[in-house]
Chains A and B, each alone.
Chain A
Amino acid sequence: EADIYQTPRYLVIGTGKKITLECSQTMGHDKMYWYQQDPGMELHLIHYSYGVNSTEKGDLSSESTVSRIRTEHFPLTLESARPSHTSQYLCASSPKNQETQYFGPGTRLLVL
Chain B
Amino acid sequence: AQTVTQSQPEMSVQEAETVTLSCTYDTSESDYYLFWYKQPPSRQMILVIRQEAYKQQNATENRFSVNFQKAAKSFSLKISDSQLGDAAMYFCAYRRSTSNTGKLIFGQGTTLQVKP
Contacts and interface: CB of A to CB of B under 8 A. Distances in A.
Which of B95, B97, B111 gathers most chain A CB within 10 Å?
Answer: B95
Given A90-B45, A103-B46, A42 B107 contact: yes
Interface string A33-60: 1000000111111001010000010110
A101 interface: yes
B33 interface: yes
A44 B3 CA distance: 12
A75 interface: no
B109 A94 contact: no
Interface residues on A, range: 20 to 34
Contacts of A45: 103-104
A71 to B, nearest CB: 16
A101 B14 CA distance: 30
Contact of B109 (A1, A33, A41, A106): A41
A6 B2 CA distance: 29
A84 interface: no
B101 interface: yes
A31 B106 CA distance: 18
A45 B103 CA distance: 8
Contacts of A106: 44-45
B103 A99 contact: no
A54 to B, nearest CB: 10
Contacts of A58: 103
B101 A31 contact: yes
A99 B101 contact: no
A100 interface: yes
A49 to B, nearest CB: 9
Given A41-B108, A43-B91, A101 B46 contact: no
Given A42-B106, A42-B109, A45-B103, A100 B47 contact: yes
Q: Which 6 A-B pairs have the closest CB atoms?
A: A103-B45, A42-B106, A43-B106, A99-B33, A105-B44, A42-B108
Given A43-B91, A99-B35, A105-B43, 4 more contacts: A31-B101, A58-B103, A90-B45, A103-B46
